[in-house]
């Protein structure tokens, strides 16, 4: 048993393989089992997730401005954006439906982008929240991630079902593409984010002001 503050694998020069999970000295360069490159931390994770986040944010705007769905009902063409659809449900009195759409399509992607950006900031030490806060935030992004695709799934089903020729046809609009891109990008962003960076930063703050000089000895 090791006493005192737990020594981190990274501090011992050990890295877990990204693919097979084998722990190996990072000095080997490649995993002795599956020959994957070994990294102590995901390389450039903050940059990656930040870049993907910005991309998602960039597409978030058109995804709500452009129609996601074009309904041709008896020749009556209507273009629906996510917001107009939600407002339609709201004005029709289908409040739960409107709330679901608002949460899944508007709020969640937005919150996901915001929280990930905040986490990135925390990982680079720009904000210094409490560890508990960080834990909650990270859990929150994990939780949100699963629900972002609801809209796209619904749209996919509706579009494939509602092909009744002249009577009713639903076609996806450009907004759907943008929205799907937003969801996919946020997922990738979440994937490329390295949560260990958060804890590294925490340790760093707790032990020494300069991470480069603090070299815990075995």
Residues that bind another protein (CB under 8 A): 8, 10-14, 22, 24-27, 32-33, 40-41, 44, 46-48, 51-52, 54-56, 58-59, 61-62, 65-67, 74-78, 166, 174-175, 177-178, 181, 185, 192, 200, 211-212, 215, 217-218
Residue 98: which of 108, 107, 89 has the closest Cα?
A: 89
**58 or 87: whose CB is closer to another protein?**
58
Q: Where are the beta strands (DSSP E) in the chain?
A: 14-16, 23-25, 69-73, 76-80, 168-172
**14 or 83: whose CB is closer to another protein?**
14
Shortest spacing between CB 3 and another protein, in angstroms: 17
Shortest spacing between CB 14 and another protein, in angstroms: 7
Shortest spacing between CB 66 and another protein, in angstroms: 5
**42 or 103: whose CB is closer to another protein?**
42
Distance of CA 80 to the CA centre of its chain: 26
**140 or 195: whose CB is closer to another protein?**
195
Beta bridge partners of 37: 30
d(CA 5, CA 201): 16
d(CA 175, CA 55): 15
**12 or 143: whose CB is closer to another protein?**
12
Shortest spacing between CB 128 and another protein, in angstroms: 16
Beta bridge partners of 23: 16
Question: How many beta carbons lie within 10 A of that of residue 141, not counting itself?
Answer: 21
Shortest spacing between CB 95 and another protein, in angstroms: 26
Read off the tokens for 156: 């996919």
Shortest spacing between CB 34 and another protein, in angstroms: 10
Q: 97 Cβ partners below 8 Å, 6+ apart? A: 89
**107 or 177: whose CB is closer to another protein?**
177
Q: What are the φ and ψ backbone dihedral angles of 183, each rounded to 5 degrees?
A: -65, -45
Q: 121 Cβ partners below 8 Å, 6+ apart? A: 127
């Amino acid at each position: 048993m090791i006493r005192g503050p737990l020594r981190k694998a990274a501090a011992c020069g050990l890295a877990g393989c990204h693919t097979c999970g084998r722990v190996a000295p990072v000095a080997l360069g490649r995993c002795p089992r599956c020959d994957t490159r070994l990294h102590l931390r995901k390389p450039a994770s903050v940059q990656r997730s930040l870049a993907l986040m910005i991309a998602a944010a960039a597409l978030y705007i058109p995804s709500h401005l452009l129609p996601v769905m074009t309904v041709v009902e008896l020749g009556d063409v209507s273009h629906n954006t996510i917001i107009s659809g939600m407002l339609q449900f709201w004005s029709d009195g289908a409040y739960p439906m409107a709330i679901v759409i608002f949460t899944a399509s508007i709020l969640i992607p937005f919150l996901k982008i915001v929280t990930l950006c905040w986490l990135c900031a925390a990982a680079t030490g720009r904000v210094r929240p409490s560890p508990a806060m960080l834990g909650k935030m990270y859990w929150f992004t994990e939780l949100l991630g699963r629900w972002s695709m609801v809209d796209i799934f619904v749209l996919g089903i509706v579009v494939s079902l509602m092909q009744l020729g002249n009577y009713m046809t639903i076609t996806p609009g450009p907004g759907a593409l943008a929205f799907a891109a937003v969801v996919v990008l946020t997922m990738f962003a979440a994937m490329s984010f390295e949560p260990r960076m958060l804890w590294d930063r925490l340790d760093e703050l707790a032990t020494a002001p300069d991470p480069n000089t603090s070299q815990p000895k075995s």
